[in-house]
Amino acid sequence: MKHVPAFLPALQRHLIGIMVAVSALAALPTTAEAQLVAVVVNGDPITNFDVEQRIKLIQISTHKAPARKDVIEELIDEKLKIQLLRRYNIPDIDKDVESAFANMARRMRTTPREFTAQLERSGLKVETLKSRMKAELIWSQIIRGRYQSSFQFSDKDIEARIETKKPEDAATVGYDYTLRPILFLVPRGSPATSFEARKKEAEAFRSQFNSCAQGIPLARGMRYVAVRPQILKGSAELPPAQRDILAKVEVGHLTPPEVIQDGVQVYAVCGKRQSDNAPAKKEARDQLYNEKFSSLSKNFLKELRSQAMIEYR
């Protein structure tokens, strides 16, 4: 997808949290009763097994037992969203789902195949997660496509929101950073001591790094160190913690070492310039977007339900 709506990363984090907890579950039963149809939506069935799987997911993530009726209504909404593929052409939607699924697996420091195996060992169908992801990806594209002009917010709209919510941030400026990621590689499966050793190497290199012009070639000459392509990042795109770190690093120096899946990473700050897209503006824009999206979604879903043939069993 060319644009990821604000709610999708939250959905991904939500599903990752589910999977962290779900690994301890025993396998769910797949009885004949579970395969009975609970409701039919425009000819497409939702089985008792589908309902039980969703109940379990919600239970694990919220630590509350949802009402079965509410879960069925959620699944009906999901089915209606997926059925929109019959009316709208959304290219590469399955590729988008697989990409999002692979991203989730990567965040859990595993592969998609291992992630799928973990789901299956827990008695949860991988399709349960992918169906939900697919529904939300379809929905976001359709809502943005149908109501494109509704998501155009003027500077006056954004400034008014800042003044209403956080007037103290009105004068805050943003920055665009030119960064070079430098990775001190650690082989997969290495013990924690290997990461600690590489972290010390990164700290030592950080104390010697005084400019990108000289430091980048030095990094390229080091063993088991990868200098990745240059990236541009706006402070408005960054989480507050990363934003604070970069604000404290002078141009031509390195950020503190960070342990990641493939080793220990630092960023060379090779450029910094003031930007019009301040964090407060992005936050205000995201708030306006999400509020408008929620309102339009509610109305369109109500319209779909009024036109649908929904048969409860």
Per-residue pLDDT of the chain in tens (313 residues, 90 and over written 9)? 344 444 455 445 555 454 444 443 434 444 555 579 999 999 999 999 999 998 887 876 688 889 999 999 999 999 999 999 999 989 899 999 999 999 988 888 788 999 888 878 877 788 888 998 999 999 999 999 999 999 988 878 877 887 777 665 555 678 889 999 999 999 988 999 999 999 999 999 999 999 999 999 999 999 999 999 999 998 888 888 888 899 899 999 999 999 998 999 999 999 999 887 777 777 888 888 999 999 999 999 999 999 999 999 8
Please check whether residue 162 lies inside any domain of the structure: no
Looking at the structure, tell me whether residues 53 and 114 fall in a common domain: yes
Residue 95 placed within a domain: yes
**Pairwise CA distance, residues 286 & 284, whole Å:** 5
Q: For residue 301, is it within any domain? A: yes
Same-domain check for residues 142 and 17: yes
Same domain, 64 and 141: yes
Report residue 240 CA to chain centroid gap.
Answer: 16
Q: Tell me the one-letter amino acid at 272.
A: K
Closest to 47 (Cα-Cα) out of 104, 128, 107: 128
Pairing of strands 310-312, 225-227: unpaired
Rounded to whole angstroms, the Cα distance separating 77 from 70 reads: 11
Residue 199 lies in a domain: yes
Number of compact structural domains in the chain: 2
Residue 286 located in a structural domain: no
Rounded CA separation 227/182 (Å): 5
Distance of CA 5 to the CA centre of its chain: 9
pTM, 2 dp: 0.66
Same domain, residue pair 46 and 109: yes
Instruction: Quote the domain boundaries for residue 66.
Output: 7-151+291-312
